[in-house]
Structure 1
Amino acid sequence: MMEHASLRAVPFTDVTINDAFWSGRLQANIEQTIPYQYEQCKTTGRVDALKLEWKPGDEPVPHIFWDSDIAKWIEAASYTLATKPDAQLEALLDEVIALLASAQQPDGYLNTHFTVVEPGKRWTNLRDAHELYCAGHLIEAAVAHYQATGKRSLLDVICRYCDHIAQTFGPNPGQKRGYCGHEEIELALVKLYHVTGERRYLDLSAYFINERGQQPHYFDLELKERLKQGEKDRLAEFHRTVGYEYNQSHKPVREQVHVVGHAVRAMYLYSAMADLAWELQDDTLKQACERLWADLCEKKLYITGGIGPSGHNEGFTRAYDLPNETAYAETCAAIGLVFWAHRMLHLDCDRRYADVMERALYNGVISGVSLDGRKFFYENPLASNGQVHRQDWFECACCPPNVARLLASFGNYIYSQREEEAVIHLFVQGSATLDLGTQKLSLKQQTRYPWDGEVRIQVDPEQSARFRVRVRQPGWCRKATVRVNGEPVQPASERGYLILEREWSQGDVIELTLHMPVERVYAHPQVREDRGRVALQRGPLVYCLEEVDNSSDLDALLVPQTADFTQTYVQDLASGAVALSFEAQRLEADGPSLYRTERPRTSMVQVRAVPYCLWDNRSPGEMLVWLREA
């Protein structure tokens, strides 16, 4: 029996957030990002494609993954309704859902592209065609909409679709023994099982996970059939170079040791594996996840929480291959890492999972959206020559609505609960109501985190009782002090969490002080691009230099080993942020000679570093995370 298998997240609907760092982001998501993304889906034809009026020769042609963009928008908008009722938004959702329902075929099938563009090719190219991937996002949208509104208008449609999928796929005679080339439906089916209680959806998820990578390889079989029908394999050369590692089907999942292939696909697969490990108490899946986690964090994780260095496969390459200027680090991949880390945290309440979740959230995820909520990064490099900027939208628009749905449900990631235990993972000002089995518990956080490390937690049980409050001491924090009702305490620590067990009464207060100096961070020596370089981190935030603060040619700056870092709260930087100032050496050019025998002259200059998540929100220019060290 897994020790923490009963641990479950506190839903975001039971959490309120009033936080200096996050509230502006969440407000922009509601007021700007979600309405803006609907307009983009409308003007680009994604919404109208649901009318099934497309004819050959019409432009634009409904793409194979357009349905997923609509689904993620529905999910984000539904999460918003759950915490902020809006009659106009709810009516718009009803309108889009009615279009989706009208697009469903008599047998339950629901996919815009394969209904009007290639109607004869349903389920013939699972490797590349994204049908089950789109179905997965539709499932998540339906679950979110039902939970937010209580309406079954989309849920019933999607249950019909999933029943069609369950009839189509499986190990029985007459069924296809396939699975999707882009994982997503596996984790979505677990969510559908939770809201419906129908075991067949959990079993279907387990089937897709267990069948993956088995021999004879399904993708070989379906390709052979397509070639026999006279089709060409348009992606033959690409798949020859990336192999089945690209979609993590190179081995059965329990035999996989290394994180490989397309990063987003990997994160969604591992999330589903963790879900099933929790639901089925399957230690073999848990152990596989732990092996893969170790490989990622020890050899393939950017300091920002970004993952996947290569644009060729939108994913992983070899160990320690972490280039900076060419880093792909897709926003969706960092979001997927948050999903996986959160699930691992509920298998084993260990700080290492929460630390990575926090690193991604505060750096590699929210860098993907501008402060005004209307521009987006697909790729998140750690160095830029000034040519990289957020875009209004993308032809492949997976990242914008993915950010929107994560931010709309951000409260999910702060707390967990189980009988007689409350767990605090993240430090975010606001309140939450937890269910400890025998009674409700209110927790209220007051903090300016991550700008400082002072956290005040008020504990208000309905009745005085003995229970545990587990509080994470972040891995970046070398020293923490704790007081309860003003008295210093030295709590026990387990897997990076401080354990406070006592008789709690209304009005009790935990005061946590997390020592938060500026730290120099060095990469493993095998990360070639970072040799001789240092990154600056304060609390959970990774810092960078921007040209707007420091002039151009940032790579000519050298950080002295004796540099003294001044921390200043700057009110006009992103509505308030801590910037770091220090003196650095700048390499100077003496004359026009290309080469010389003398060491270059240096001058001392004042330098300012800002949080990486804020870059490219002011004047465009160069950016650098890993700095040369003198």
Structure 2
Amino acid sequence: MTRTLTLPPALTQVRVHDAFWSPRLEANRACTLPVLHGKLQEVGALDAFDLDAYAERGITIPKTHHVTPQMWWDSDVAKWIEAASASLVTHPDPALDAQLDDVIARIAGAQQPDGYMNTYFTAIEPDRKLTNERDWHELYNAGHLIEAAVTHYQATGKTSLLDVVERYARFLSGVYGTGQGQRPGYPGHEEIELALLRLYHATGRREHLDFARYFIDQRGQFPNYFETEALARGDNPQDFWAGTYEYMQAHQPVREQSQVVGHAVRAVYLYAAMADLAAADGDAGLRAACERLWDDLTRHSLYVTGGLGPSASNEGMTRPYDLPNDSAYAETCAAVGLAFWARRMAALTGDAKYADVMERALYNNVLSGVSLAGDRFLYENPLESDGTHRRWAWHACPCCPPNLARLLASLGEYVYAVSAQDVTVNLYVGSTLSADVAGHALTLTQEGAYPWRGDVHFSMELDSPATFALRLRIPAWAQGATLSVNGEAQAVTPQQGYAVLTREWHSGDRIDLTLPLVPRRVYAHPAVPQDAGLVSLAYGPLVYCVEGVDQDAALHALSVPRGAALSARFDPDLLGGVTVIEGDAVADTATTADLYTDVPPPTRPARVTAIPYAVWDNREPTPMRVWLRESAR
């Protein structure tokens, strides 16, 4: 069914005022952003834009973190710019604004006369620039700079960085393409595709959309560009360290792909761009490919926490139903990218199943990537730990902290979607939306205590009565949801997962939605060998885990009886205030010192106390598990 083009609201159109999210957004603003800036300064990533000093230092830039100049440093700075710019929308801060101006001036000063912009290759290896897109990160860095420029422009109205990236995009579009004298190349690490589409939406300049389409269409064509490129620089294409172009989703044209393979972050960045282009162009082939790939991921390879990529060796995918828990890679960046893709798929199709996964990723794998204080981070997000997997203050590859920071700072773009004919509520986050709908100025205010409670309330202000559809997502787990308008009960008959209220709306109208929140057991498909005989616990969108510090038995010894009642209780003093799930359990006990015996171990009564996975590892080192043994009784 054809729908009017649906877009996320601008950053300036949404104000978040939510009991769950606001403290996390404040930690992001007040702690994470300055921590990131300080670390980027400490390791030399900011000073790298002083090209002469950078080149003189060669590869000896500070060893305090065992960091040397990196090909992707520009991207880390760009993501910080994007996060800081988004923060200015809701929290004007002259000091942060001036800090941004300083960094952007450094970037502009480092841009080359032809428009090229990459500190590493300009200062350290100028003879090797644009010679190895397979392995290096020039186009990836360019993408993040473009995204940063778009957000900075939208947040401040300044074009200082936008002018830089438009020059860079024009330079790159002269290098890459199918015309005479151009290289038929594309990035090994996808990112610039979705960035160019954001640039198109921000500027209306069709050449940016065309360039994005070129990169997407060219990917995986024969002969493979990465082999041609390797030969041109004197390398043997067969010596490719990853062994397969599946690693960067370049093994076949994107419209022919049906299985999510390779590096997880690269994959979801590509798919987000494909969905964006499908929406902008009405490209049915791209849309069909996105839907196939989505079904493959969610049916075969998505962790219950919304993470993806079980393998550290390729930071990505292995085979269907391979979902190890203690060695799960589930990179924070991959969950962030999944949220990008899911939001675009929800807008493209109007189907709430995509927003369901977006919510799962946001409330679980994304949030687990940062401590409650906002100053420590996770790259990998395992679903089981012996207590030694801890958040770190910094990393030799610090891509995840600024990626997570920019997503949190722009959370308002994920709560709603708006078209000329409807308003869609994808997330239940206390907030206020200001938008033009059906030719009228609308202010929609959302209130509630989600995800701890399921009562959500909306009120409207309109300049005059208006007829449009309000679409409220009914999560797949929300059995028995109820809905009323001005106290009058409404039938909840979801269309593609949304309760749709189409009527003439007036100022003062009130909508009340109740989503039943009860502890739930969640089971994996029997083909997942690592989760056979196990159960996980959930409450609303939150996946739960158990930490050893809360239990009276070792985690591996605990079993949750299948018929045992589970209860939920809000604890305002625990981990910033969380709902815990509690229930009766049994624990194996030892009656002999023998390592092996002929009789099963006896059990004793025990209790299980589970906390949201998002807040694990915020206390002392302790074992953690998402999946628990389940006993018959």
TM-score, normalised on structure 2?
0.97
Partners of 2:283 and 2:294 in 1: CA distance: 17
Give matches, 1:300-379, under 5 Å.
Answer: 300-379=301-380
Partner secondary structure for residue 543 of structure 2:
strand
Q: Which has the larger displacement, 558-567 or 172-181? A: 558-567
Q: AA paired with 2:614?
A: C
278 and 316 in structure 1: CA distance in 2 versus 1, 3 angstrom threshold: same
Partner secondary structure for residue 245 of structure 2:
coil
Q: 2:223 aligns with which of 216, 222, 226?
A: 216
Q: 2:241 aligns with which of 232, 238, 241?
A: 238
What is residue 540 of structure 1 aligned with on the other side? 541
130 and 57 in structure 1: CA distance in 2 versus 1, 3 angstrom threshold: closer
The answer to whether the Cα contact below 8 Å between 2:534 and 2:628 also exists between their aligned partners in 1 is: yes
Q: Deviations over 1:435-486 (max 9, x none)?
A: 2131011111111000011111112222122221110110111111111111
Partners of 2:528 and 2:430 in 1: CA distance: 37
The answer to whether the Cα contact below 8 Å between 1:5 and 1:346 also exists between their aligned partners in 2 is: no
Partners of 1:593 and 1:620 in 2: CA distance: 29
552 and 125 in structure 1: CA distance in 2 versus 1, 3 angstrom threshold: farther
What is residue 435 of structure 1 aligned with on the other side? 436
Partners of 1:531 and 1:82 in 2: CA distance: 47
The answer to whether the Cα contact below 8 Å between 2:259 and 2:296 also exists between their aligned partners in 1 is: yes
What is residue 11 of structure 1 aligned with on the other side? 10
Q: AA paired with 1:38?
A: H
Partners of 1:56 and 1:77 in 2: CA distance: 28
Partners of 1:5 and 1:623 in 2: CA distance: 46
Deviation (angstroms), 1:515: 1.2
Partner secondary structure for residue 479 of structure 1:
coil
Deviation (angstroms), 1:232: 7.7
337 and 151 in structure 1: CA distance in 2 versus 1, 3 angstrom threshold: same
The answer to whether the Cα contact below 8 Å between 1:5 and 1:278 also exists between their aligned partners in 2 is: no
Deviation (angstroms), 1:575: 2.2
What is residue 549 of structure 1 aligned with on the other side? 550
Q: 1:107 aligns with which of 100, 108, 114?
A: 114
Runs of 4+ in 1 over 4 A off after TM superposition: none
2:561 equivalent to 1:560: yes
Q: Which has the larger displacement, 262-271 or 588-597? A: 588-597
What is residue 519 of structure 1 aligned with on the other side? 520
2:202 equivalent to 1:180: no
Partners of 2:11 and 2:547 in 1: CA distance: 35
Give matches, 1:88-107, under 5 Å.
Answer: 88-107=95-114
Give matches, 1:376-395, under 5 Å.
Answer: 376-395=377-396
Give matches, 1:264-303, under 5 Å.
Answer: 264-303=265-304
The answer to whether the Cα contact below 8 Å between 1:552 and 1:622 also exists between their aligned partners in 2 is: no
Deviation (angstroms), 1:552: 5.8
The answer to whether the Cα contact below 8 Å between 1:4 and 1:346 also exists between their aligned partners in 2 is: no
Partner secondary structure for residue 435 of structure 1:
strand
Q: AA paired with 1:225?
A: A
The answer to whether the Cα contact below 8 Å between 1:62 and 1:112 also exists between their aligned partners in 2 is: no
Deviation (angstroms), 1:255: 0.3
Deviation (angstroms), 1:421: 1.3
122 and 58 in structure 1: CA distance in 2 versus 1, 3 angstrom threshold: closer
Q: Which has the larger displacement, 468-477 or 543-552? A: 543-552
What is residue 250 of structure 2 aligned with on the other side? 249
2:94 equivalent to 1:87: yes
Partners of 1:5 and 1:120 in 2: CA distance: 49
Partners of 1:552 and 1:42 in 2: CA distance: 45
Partners of 1:386 and 1:4 in 2: CA distance: 49
Partners of 1:414 and 1:574 in 2: CA distance: 25
Deviation (angstroms), 1:599: 1.3
Partners of 1:214 and 1:194 in 2: CA distance: 27
Partner secondary structure for residue 200 of structure 2:
helix
Q: Deviations over 1:180-232 (max 9, x none)?
A: 000000000011112222211111100000000001110001111222xxx68
Q: 1:117 aligns with which of 108, 124, 133?
A: 124
Deviation (angstroms), 1:607: 1.7
Q: Deviations over 1:584-630 (max 9, x none)?
A: 10011112111111110111112210000010011210000000001
What is residue 199 of structure 1 aligned with on the other side? 206
Deviation (angstroms), 1:51: 0.4
Deviation (angstroms), 1:5: 4.6
What is residue 424 of structure 2 aligned with on the other side? 423
What is residue 64 of structure 2 aligned with on the other side? none
2:455 equivalent to 1:454: yes
Deviation (angstroms), 1:351: 1.1
Partners of 1:203 and 1:275 in 2: CA distance: 13
The answer to whether the Cα contact below 8 Å between 2:139 and 2:191 also exists between their aligned partners in 1 is: yes
Partners of 1:97 and 1:499 in 2: CA distance: 44
Q: AA paired with 1:238?
A: W
2:48 equivalent to 1:49: yes
Partners of 1:38 and 1:274 in 2: CA distance: 32
Q: AA paired with 1:386?
A: G
Q: 2:141 aligns with which of 112, 134, 138?
A: 134
State the Cα RMSD in Å.
1.3
Aligned length: 623
What is residue 29 of structure 2 aligned with on the other side? 30
Q: Deviations over 1:308-359 (max 9, x none)?
A: 0000000001000000000000000000000000000111111100100000
Partner secondary structure for residue 535 of structure 1:
strand
Partner secondary structure for residue 493 of structure 1:
coil
Deviation (angstroms), 1:55: 2.6
What is residue 472 of structure 1 aligned with on the other side? 473
Gaps of 5+ in 2: 62-67
Deviation (angstroms), 1:264: 0.2
Partners of 1:283 and 1:559 in 2: CA distance: 47
The answer to whether the Cα contact below 8 Å between 1:520 and 1:534 also exists between their aligned partners in 2 is: yes
2:78 equivalent to 1:71: yes
Q: Deviations over 1:336-395 (max 9, x none)?
A: 000000000111111100100000000010100000000000000000011101000111
Partners of 1:139 and 1:246 in 2: CA distance: 24
Partners of 1:107 and 1:434 in 2: CA distance: 40
Partners of 1:413 and 1:552 in 2: CA distance: 40
The answer to whether the Cα contact below 8 Å between 1:187 and 1:271 also exists between their aligned partners in 2 is: yes
Q: Deviations over 1:96-121 (max 9, x none)?
A: 11111111111110001110111001
Partner secondary structure for residue 406 of structure 1:
helix
What is residue 40 of structure 1 aligned with on the other side? 39
What is residue 621 of structure 1 aligned with on the other side? 622
Deviation (angstroms), 1:12: 2.9
What is residue 485 of structure 1 aligned with on the other side? 486
Q: Which has the larger displacement, 501-510 or 108-117? A: 501-510
Q: Deviations over 1:72-108 (max 9, x none)?
A: 0011011111221111011111111111111111111
Deviation (angstroms), 1:549: 0.6
The answer to whether the Cα contact below 8 Å between 2:11 and 2:413 also exists between their aligned partners in 1 is: yes
Partners of 1:628 and 1:4 in 2: CA distance: 46
The answer to whether the Cα contact below 8 Å between 2:308 and 2:335 also exists between their aligned partners in 1 is: yes
Q: Which has the larger displacement, 503-512 or 313-322? A: 503-512
Partner secondary structure for residue 128 of structure 2:
coil
The answer to whether the Cα contact below 8 Å between 2:438 and 2:468 also exists between their aligned partners in 1 is: no
Identity of aligned residues (%): 52
Deviation (angstroms), 1:551: 4.7
Partners of 2:472 and 2:356 in 1: CA distance: 13
Q: Deviations over 1:550-587 (max 9, x none)?
A: 15620110001121112111011122111011111001
Partners of 2:58 and 2:628 in 1: CA distance: 52
The answer to whether the Cα contact below 8 Å between 1:307 and 1:315 also exists between their aligned partners in 2 is: yes
Q: AA paired with 1:113?
A: Y
Partners of 2:29 and 2:219 in 1: CA distance: 38
Partners of 2:348 and 2:371 in 1: CA distance: 33
5 and 296 in structure 1: CA distance in 2 versus 1, 3 angstrom threshold: farther
